[in-house]
Amino acid sequence: DAGVIQSPRHEVTEMGQEVTLRCKPISGHNSLFWYRQTMMRGLELLIYFNNNVPIDDSGMPEDRFSAKMPNASFSTLKIQPSEPRDSAVYFCASLRGTDTQYFGPGTRLTVL
Amino acid sequence: GENVEQHPSTLSVQEGDSAVIKCTYSDSASNYFPWYKQELGKGPQLIIDIRSNVGEKKDQRIAVTLNKTAKHFSLHITETQPEDSAVYFCAASIGGNNRLAFGKGNQVVVIP
């Protein structure tokens, strides 16, 4: 199994630009999670989907953030417009049923 | 909501010695407790987990113990090796569902 796949691995952009992060969960997994990791706040859950439906987006910081899961094998996290304080590592994780979450390698985002 | 705390924040051990990391949680409904290891530039990787119907679980040099009454669980690494150096995160399920609350992480340094 290829594991959770995320792209890009690194993204550098300028303030105000739109950023789109992508995730492909492990085949057969029916839940998907987006996290943000910073030194100050640790791992924060942004949103999670179950069977492609957003279940809890209470962690999404503000309206500039949006996430979609059009099908079972693909999800996006979009930031528009981006700000320097959005700089962080963004992780996607997936699970099947009540098993544990498996994390992708992350996308390191730098907003200048 | 669930609050997970880890102690100590940094731990240095001599190669061959044991390392113990403790976590406490607040939600008595939590029933699943995974431990993740994160190496530099990588996503968190599951190393061991335990469910609330079990008090201890062991996998080679790694073990986890759970005390539901006191609401704490610990990771034990025996015969530490340099490759054990990483950040370790504990987590607890939120309200018995698929979401996880993470601790802030422990930096473990194994000194050769």
- The one-digit pLDDT tens for each residue of chain A (112 residues) are 689 999 999 999 999 999 999 999 999 999 999 999 998 888 999 999 999 999 989 899 889 999 999 999 999 999 999 999 999 999 999 998 877 899 999 999 999 9
Average pLDDT over residues B2-14: 88
Q: Is the pLDDT score of B48 beyond 70? A: yes
Q: Is the pLDDT score of B97 beyond 70? A: no
Residues ≥6 apart with Cβ < 8 Å to A3? A26, A102, A104
Which residue of chain A has the CA closest to B87?
Answer: A42
Q: What average pLDDT is seen over chain B?
A: 92
Which residue of chain B has the CA closest to A48?
Answer: B99
CB B91: neighbour CB atoms within 10 A? 26
A91 in Cβ contact with A102 (< 8 Å): no
With DSSP H G I counted as helix, E B as strand and the rest as coil, what are the percentages for chain B, rounded to 5? 5, 55, 40
Closest partner CB to B43 (pick from A45, A95, A106):
A106
Which residue of chain B has the CA closest to A40?
Answer: B104
- Of residues B95 and B47, more confidently modeled: B47
AA letter at A110: T
pLDDT of residue B80: 97
**Are the beta carbons of A102 and B46 separated by less than 8 Å?**
yes
- What residues pair up with A50 in beta bridges, in sequence order? A31, A53
Contact residues, chain B, for A59 at CB < 8 Å? none
Distance separating alpha carbons of residues A50 and A72, to the nearest angstrom: 9
pLDDT of residue B44: 96
Q: Is A14 on the interface with B (CB under 8 A)?
A: no
Whether residue A81 has a cis bond before it, omega within 30° of 0: yes
Q: Enter the DSSP assignment of A41.
A: T
Contact residues, chain B, for A25 at CB < 8 Å? none
Question: Is residue A51 classed as helix, strand or coil in its secondary structure?
Answer: coil
Closest partner CB to A104 (pick from B32, B43, B99):
B43
Distance from CA of A99 to the nearest CA of B (A): 8
Distance from CA of A7 to the nearest CA of B (A): 13
pLDDT of residue B96: 59
Which residues in B18-47 are b (16+ Cβ under 10 Å) and which e? ebebbbbbebeebbbbbbbbbeeeebbeeb
Q: Is the pLDDT score of B56 beyond 90? A: yes
Distance separating alpha carbons of residues A70 and A52, to the nearest angstrom: 7
- Of residues A99 and B65, more confidently modeled: B65
B85 in Cβ contact with B108 (< 8 Å): yes
Question: Is residue B33 classed as helix, strand or coil in its secondary structure?
Answer: strand
Distance separating alpha carbons of residues A67 and A9, to the nearest angstrom: 18
Q: Enter the DSSP assignment of A25.
A: P
pLDDT of residue A2: 80
Closest partner CB to A31 (pick from B32, B43, B98):
B98
**Are the beta carbons of B102 and A105 separated by less than 8 Å?**
no
Distance separating alpha carbons of residues A109 and A19, to the nearest angstrom: 9
Which residue of chain B has the CA closest to A42?
Answer: B104
pLDDT of residue B1: 72
pLDDT band at B8 (very low <50, low <70, confident <90, very high): confident
pLDDT of residue B11: 93
Distance separating alpha carbons of residues B108 and B72, to the nearest angstrom: 19
Distance separating alpha carbons of residues A51 and A49, to the nearest angstrom: 6
